[in-house]
Structure 1
Amino acid sequence: MEAMGVAVALGLLLLTAGGSTGDAAREAAAVRELLVRLLGPGPAAAFSVSVERSLATKSGLDTYRLSGGGAGARVQVLGSTGVAAAAGLHRYLRDFCGCHVAWSGSQLRLPQPLPAVPEELTEATPNRYRYYQNVCTQSYSFLWWDWARWEQEIDWMALNGINLALAWSGQEAIWQRVYLALGLTQTEIDEYFTGPAFLAWGRMGNLHTWSGPLPPSWHLKQLYLQHRILDRMRSFGMIPVLPAFAGHVPKALTRVFPQVNVTQMGSWGHFNCSYSCSFLLAPEDPLFPLVGSLFLRELTKEFGTDHIYGADTFNEMQPPSSEPSYLAAATAAVYQAMTAVDPDAVWLLQGWLFQNQPEFWGPAQVAAVLGAVPRGRLLVLDLFAESQPVYVRTASFQGQPFIWCMLHNFGGNHGLFGALESVNQGPATARRFPNSTLVGTGMAPEGIGQNEVVYALMAELGWRKDPVADLGAWVTSFAARRYGVSHGDAEAAWRLLLRSVYNCSGEECRGHNHSPLVKRPSLHMVTTVWYNRSDVFEAWRLLLAATPTLASSPAFRYDLVDVTRQAVQELVSLYYEEMRTAYLKKELVPLMRAGGILAYELLPALDQVLASDCHFLLGSWLEQARLAAVSETEAHFYEQNSRYQLTLWGPEGNILDYANKQLAGLVADYYAPRWRLFAETLAESLVQGVPFQQHQFDKNAFQLEQTFVLGTRRYPSQPEGDTVDLVKKLFLKYYPRAGFF
């Protein structure tokens, strides 16, 4: 009976959600246009792309078919949807042509003539969905994007077979209309919205007001972007997930409706109630369905709908009651507000709440939420499944369909990191789980643009029924495609990275960079890592050895910078340990030597290396913010939003260094001054014979941090210097020392 219930739930989901009846001709045209953008009109003409719905499996799963090519014949790409066709195209480019498409750049040297597909190749995805994004990705990575950058990302999504993704831009403009209709003033609305860099947490009810208000131009530009994003996503046959009302309202609503039943939630993220402690409507209050339906009606009137909506009522917030009856009512109220407008609504829920506060979410509480929505109408993202899957302790979400997600990255940090074996095995293991309700796989990073090997594997797994048999061989071929040529040293470097930084398991797999380099210094910093640092140093040496052959590859130069950055990160930990040991032993000279090298030599050298690559520039990050503005006042405001997010996060360092990045300019003017202050303070402590006072140091460090955030220095937005020369100098100076620690 349980298995029958699961089948019914999954069938309901497949029937009610998504654009399976879209225009096949339009989707084929969209893929052909992608081909031209990717390869240029000449090479694109060597491909024939078509979309036929009948190619899908009997259960409606996406399928592609490849044939032709060779001896002047066109390569035939057929897909059941535009996304399937794009995924088939990517498979051909990857496996037959040795090409590579990535955020840092693409390697697209096509063999001539194009290789033939020896036997017709048909591939069906094992699951309905390949999902993409985290609510936080919108703020940590997409924040300042224009349409050109969005177009690139949607192309990347299509090529990687993504068919379900958040589309949350422009929603504040819709909320503004709703709040005005409910009687709030423009001033009250402006006071409620966060600044642009913090909208993700405003949308989930964690924050309000902080770093706002939003300028009127922001709403106009985001509406324009959202229309283009949705049009392009739908043209490929993707399903955009629109936002829905989760129950959080501005405090000003209590002025208009004095009798409204609201609960003030607890504070979040070390913010006080000036910026957090959101107001949550009681599920039984008549305003709940009114507000929810007003918003969704206005939203779908503006943007149309594909019937899947995202909402998170208790993201990292403890509900006001643990009573199952309350939790069920709160959940039902959100869903009913959706179906009042869209009877076919499916609710996409981030399952992070169950993982984030397991002590609160016991079996009864989880059951209350999962049981409050009809089976098949709640689609749960098992958001951190590669590390801490929730489906295994909730009986596959008690029959509700779920997507196995890889979260991987927190805050958009740099730092080489991954749990590739867990990622490789995870979806297949979930598929075999008793009465499994798995309906898809997903990538849900808080920030993108890092550790591209991890995302390449996860995207490939969306189309594989079984795990990759040999990850060592897989990563070797990944390196060859990435650089456009096989090279023994480069491939050996990648195998070392696979067994070290990409071999995380257990508690350390939190996906957040805790390197002392990017943290406010103290005497109690953790420097342990789950791998042998010598593997990173040896990978660094091997990549540098490959430069005579591979230096012309932009992807290789990017990786050379990234691995150098990681090696310096390791060296910072080691020099810090020397500093700490010298201080505890009261040895001034070794303390000053280690501190001097770290703060005055190593970090400035790292900053120079980072400055040589366009992907590691603070100036580019801030320039994106400024270009999103329509006036100098706005440009300054947007830039300050960006600076806050990268560093203090809140006015008092509330979530200090969470979104840390290793960018040229940020290393030189933010991290290095803190380390200089730390080294000087420790030395002064020894000289004066007084204990180091962490509290006083923190106050002094905060002054440095705030000076950076409020600063107006402009940073280069174009790379400077030759990567290989700079890396070689840094390597020759520090690699010999690595073996002495």
Structure 2
Amino acid sequence: MLKRRKTLLNSFIVITLLLVFGANAQGEARDNPSPESSVIAAQGVIQRLIPAHAKQFDLAVISPDDGRDVFEIESREGNIILRGNNGVSLCSALHWYLRYNCHTNISWNGIQLDLPETLPAVPQKIRQVSPHRYRYFFNYCCFGYSLPWWDWEQWEFMIDWMALNGINMPLAVTGQEATWQKVMRQLDLGEDAVRQFLAGPPYLPFGWMGCLDGWGGPLPQNWIDRHEELQRKILARERELGMTPVIQGFTGHVPAAIRKKFPDAKLHKIQWIEWNTLFIDPLDPLFRQIGKLFLDQQRQDFGTDHLYAADTFIEMSPPSNDPAFLNNMGKSLISTLTEADPDAIWVMQGWIFYNNAKFWQPPQSKAFLAGVPDDRMILLDLYCDVAPVWKKTEAFYGKPWIWCILQNFGNTISLSGPLPRINEELFQSMSDPARGKLSGIGMIQEGLDYNPVVFEFMTEMTWRDKPVDLSRWIADYATRRYGQPLDSAQKAWEFMQNSVYDKTHSPNSIYTSRPQYSNDPPKPVSVSGDLLSAWEQLLLCADALQKSDTYRFDVVNVTRQVLSDFARIIYTQSMTAYQKNDVKQFKKSCQRFLEILDDLDEVLATRQEFLLGKWIADARRWGTTETDQQLFEWNARNVITLWGDAKSALHDYARKEWSGLISEFYRNRWKLFFDQLEQSLPERKDFDNDAFTQMIQMWENAWTRRHDSYPDQPSGDSVDIAIRLFKKYRSELGA
């Protein structure tokens, strides 16, 4: 009897948990978490973030504001009351309170949570309503350039960060390899076909976009199984918080083995850079057959929230520019989705209309989009901060769309961000009569980036309906970033606002580029005076902020940018000396250039965010055998250097200014270049760029296959080293 009562009690607990948290990742996902589960999910974020203060918050769920997300904050009987219409809104209320009442800063590049024992009261009730139905986050590329080696602990923090910042529509494509493996087995394509189709970890998202097959593989079974489980955890947490994850749709891209298995199928060969893939003709019955098989299997594996990402020709041209063909392609894709899920909505990147504008002329783009009902599609306008596509497509011809920033390519590192353009053009778009069905805001950077101010600003805009006073906002940001108002810190950020954060993208550092000689006279360059002033003002805060995590990151990042810019000046001097046959000055400039790289490597070694060793260690930890560990290490090394094979056109696309990579890859590569130039000087031989490139390609390829160990923990004092470097270079820089 006691045993039966215990069994019944356990069953009741399981049923209760299902009611509170919704269905698990397998099967149908809940559309609307209950008020109780929303509160529990938000309380979990508070416990993970500020456990010592968790009891000072009371949470409650309120109704949406005319269908829009809303939160409220006020004080009552000594506690902080947070109200919101779902978990994301509740977490956004928490973050707004911490940001503006406690002057804190939470980023993946440093955290400042210096809170008093008793939290400050809210002077008057705060109520914020989001004007944006959708708040989107993640680019496919981010899963290759920032996220490929992440474990649950890292994902848990990221999901908390998204909830705190109002994100309700994250792309979620981890673990797709498990679904595809099952589909290919159902099609009886053979295990060799699986190995040849699934790419290595950082290349997987490019496979999901149809760009390549198998590069960097084969994937070990252990990887596939563990990432299927990881995706279930990711989706469960996102759904608990009230997010609507965007999962993978079917694009028509299929394994090469399909050709042999279905010889009568109409297949198109598509090329991206140096890779070729197969695409099923949208009118071939096999398109829907495999599409439904994939979508049904994915739903069984992970459930669905009815949003599906599908980018059939993200940077490739379709096999035909016939508007009728393109219209049928759109119809076939959406009908395949809705056959598997009647509530399906196709989420597509509008990048194709910018990247391949020559192909996607108005007749082609209009025909393609017309094949999809307006209520079955959402377009992501990726590059609104630079080249908004909505203005050239009549707001995507009536489709709902999301205003996005791209921010970086390849997760390269530079101080940059278009804060004024976001502050102006986002709100101009929101009020433009020609905006069509503008329905949201998004951040779709190719990597997580190294400019936390941009994401703090952009995510705050998810809760605002008009521009802010940018100068005042920056001054307040400096206070929140470091936890106290300091004149020098505010001046530093004012200088950065007027320089690096007044533009979209800074050029890549010269030393991360593969060296090539040009007979053209070098263009004169300089280091921004405002950036130098920012560096100086920031270092004046050292005594007050020596132990601040956020301050130490910013000091390293600004120091990195100054020295990277200075390296370009010294490079210019070396090339000028070479062209003048000034051997002495050439040698001096080359040595100075390499010395700057040594100093950069040293200061970057003080922060984990800038360590090659951390990237490689994170990759190797997923391997259960030495063979697997070496495969993952090659993937980690290759994607940030060659990207493809030794002759790849994508070399250095995902370059990184990281300690270890500078000292062992970039510095050595430039040393080889300078040595070759020096050898050609006495006899004034023409420098053979082609011969050097062939030699350096072999050297780079060999480097990707090495297994040297690099520190995966920081060393040295960020502030002390930055101050020493400032004193060393200030006179040359004119600071």
TM-score relative to the length of structure 2? 0.94
Once the two structures are superposed, what CA deviation does each residue of 1:316-374 show, in whole Å capped at 9, x if it has no partner? 00111111111111111111111001111000001110110111111111101211110
Equivalent residue, structure 2, for 1:26 = 37
CA apart distance, 1:449: 4.1
- Give 1:83's match in structure 2, choosing from 88, 93, 97: 88
- Give 1:652's match in structure 2, choosing from 624, 643, 646: 646
What is the letter of the counterpart of residue 32 of structure 1?
A: Q
How far apart, in 1, do the equivalents of 2:144 and 2:654 lie? 11
- 3-state secondary structure, aligned to 2:107: coil
- 3-state secondary structure, aligned to 1:448: coil
Once the two structures are superposed, what CA deviation does each residue of 1:666-696 show, in whole Å capped at 9, x if it has no partner? 0000010111122222222112220111112
CA apart distance, 1:444: 0.4
How far apart, in 2, do the equivalents of 1:730 and 1:152 lie? 34
CA contact (8 A) 1:332 1:373 kept: yes
Equivalent residue, structure 2, for 1:5 = none
How far apart, in 1, do the equivalents of 2:476 and 2:523 lie? 31
- Give 1:66's match in structure 2, choosing from 40, 60, 73: 73
What is the letter of the counterpart of residue 472 of structure 1?
A: S
What is the letter of the counterpart of residue 162 of structure 1?
A: I
- 3-state secondary structure, aligned to 2:59: strand
Equivalent residue, structure 2, for 1:377 = 376
Equivalent residue, structure 1, for 2:65 = 57
Distance 1:433 1:243, change over 3 A: same
How far apart, in 2, do the equivalents of 1:527 and 1:537 lie? 23
- Give 1:633's match in structure 2, choosing from 610, 624, 627: 627
Matched, 1:151 2:156: yes
Aligned-residue CA RMSD (Å): 1.8
Once the two structures are superposed, what CA deviation does each residue of 1:351-410 show, in whole Å capped at 9, x if it has no partner? 110110111111111101211110121100001111110111111111100000111011
- Give 2:146's match in structure 1, choosing from 141, 144, 148: 141
Once the two structures are superposed, what CA deviation does each residue of 1:689-723 show, in whole Å capped at 9, x if it has no partner? 20111112212222332232111100011111122
Equivalent residue, structure 2, for 1:454 = 454
How far apart, in 1, do the equivalents of 2:303 and 2:489 lie? 48
How far apart, in 2, do the equivalents of 1:464 and 1:306 lie? 27
How far apart, in 2, do the equivalents of 1:649 and 1:497 lie? 32
- Spell out the pairing of 1:12-51 with structure 2 (5 A cutoff): 21-40=32-51, 42-51=52-61
Matched, 1:621 2:615: yes
Equivalent residue, structure 1, for 2:700 = 705
Q: 143-152 or 513-522: which moved more?
A: 513-522
What is the letter of the counterpart of residue 349 of structure 2?
A: Q
CA contact (8 A) 1:349 1:378 kept: yes
What is the letter of the counterpart of residue 445 of structure 1?
A: Q
Equivalent residue, structure 1, for 2:385 = 386
- Give 2:566's match in structure 1, choosing from 550, 564, 571: 571
CA contact (8 A) 1:18 1:307 kept: no
Equivalent residue, structure 2, for 1:4 = none
Q: 695-704 or 386-395: which moved more?
A: 695-704
Distance 1:384 1:530, change over 3 A: farther
How far apart, in 1, do the equivalents of 2:201 and 2:583 lie? 46
- 3-state secondary structure, aligned to 1:725: helix
Equivalent residue, structure 2, for 1:522 = 516
CA contact (8 A) 1:385 1:404 kept: yes
Which stretches in structure 2 are left out of the alignment for 5+ residues? 1-27
Equivalent residue, structure 2, for 1:414 = 413
Equivalent residue, structure 2, for 1:191 = 196
Once the two structures are superposed, what CA deviation does each residue of 1:457-514 show, in whole Å capped at 9, x if it has no partner? 110111110111x21221111111111111111221111111111111xxxx4x4752
CA contact (8 A) 1:167 1:242 kept: yes
Once the two structures are superposed, what CA deviation does each residue of 1:395-435 show, in whole Å capped at 9, x if it has no partner? 11111000001110111111111111111222212212224
CA apart distance, 1:194: 1.3
How far apart, in 2, do the equivalents of 1:303 and 1:623 lie? 29
How far apart, in 1, do the equivalents of 2:440 and 2:526 lie? 31
Once the two structures are superposed, what CA deviation does each residue of 1:1-38 show, in whole Å capped at 9, x if it has no partner? xxxxxxxxxxxxxxxx9966322211110101110100
Matched, 1:465 2:465: yes
How far apart, in 2, do the equivalents of 1:213 and 1:425 lie? 47
TM-score relative to the length of structure 1? 0.93
Aligned residues: 705
What is the letter of the counterpart of residue 46 of structure 1?
A: Q
CA contact (8 A) 2:251 2:312 kept: yes
How far apart, in 2, do the equivalents of 1:514 and 1:19 lie? 44
How far apart, in 2, do the equivalents of 1:93 and 1:527 lie? 49
- 3-state secondary structure, aligned to 2:110: coil
Distance 1:669 1:652, change over 3 A: same
CA apart distance, 1:661: 0.8
Equivalent residue, structure 1, for 2:280 = 281
CA apart distance, 1:528: 7.2
What is the letter of the counterpart of residue 649 of structure 1?
A: W
How far apart, in 1, do the equivalents of 2:325 and 2:206 lie? 24
- Spell out the pairing of 1:193-592 with structure 2 (5 A cutoff): 193-266=198-271, 268-269=272-273, 271=274, 276-436=275-435, 437-468=437-468, 470-504=469-503, 509=504, 511=505, 513-524=507-518, 533-592=528-587
How far apart, in 2, do the equivalents of 1:445 and 1:730 lie? 31
- 3-state secondary structure, aligned to 1:402: strand
CA apart distance, 1:644: 0.1
Distance 1:732 1:101, change over 3 A: same
Distance 1:112 1:408, change over 3 A: same
Once the two structures are superposed, what CA deviation does each residue of 1:200-244 show, in whole Å capped at 9, x if it has no partner? 111111111211111111110111101100100000000011101
Once the two structures are superposed, what CA deviation does each residue of 1:647-680 show, in whole Å capped at 9, x if it has no partner? 0001124111111111110000001011112222
CA contact (8 A) 1:328 1:372 kept: yes
How far apart, in 1, do the equivalents of 2:31 and 2:673 lie? 59
Once the two structures are superposed, what CA deviation does each residue of 1:290-333 show, in whole Å capped at 9, x if it has no partner? 01101101111121111110000011001111111111111111
How far apart, in 1, do the equivalents of 2:591 and 2:571 lie? 11
CA apart distance, 1:538: 1.9
Distance 1:551 1:516, change over 3 A: same
How far apart, in 2, do the equivalents of 1:38 and 1:502 lie? 29
What is the letter of the counterpart of residue 48 of structure 1?
A: D
How far apart, in 1, do the equivalents of 2:144 and 2:525 lie? 30
CA contact (8 A) 2:144 2:204 kept: yes
- Give 1:115's match in structure 2, choosing from 108, 120, 125: 120
How far apart, in 1, do the equivalents of 2:451 and 2:394 lie? 32
Matched, 1:101 2:106: yes
Q: 154-163 or 412-421: which moved more?
A: 412-421
CA contact (8 A) 1:411 1:512 kept: no
How far apart, in 2, do the equivalents of 1:18 and 1:303 lie? 8
Distance 1:595 1:320, change over 3 A: same
Once the two structures are superposed, what CA deviation does each residue of 1:554-574 show, in whole Å capped at 9, x if it has no partner? 111111111111011111100
CA contact (8 A) 1:19 1:238 kept: no
CA apart distance, 1:634: 0.9
What is the letter of the counterpart of residue 378 of structure 2?
A: L
Equivalent residue, structure 1, for 2:603 = 609
CA apart distance, 1:739: 2.8
How far apart, in 2, do the equivalents of 1:548 and 1:707 lie? 45
CA contact (8 A) 2:31 2:305 kept: no
How far apart, in 1, do the equivalents of 2:434 and 2:573 lie? 54
CA contact (8 A) 2:613 2:709 kept: yes
Equivalent residue, structure 2, for 1:8 = none
What is the letter of the counterpart of residue 132 of structure 2?
A: N
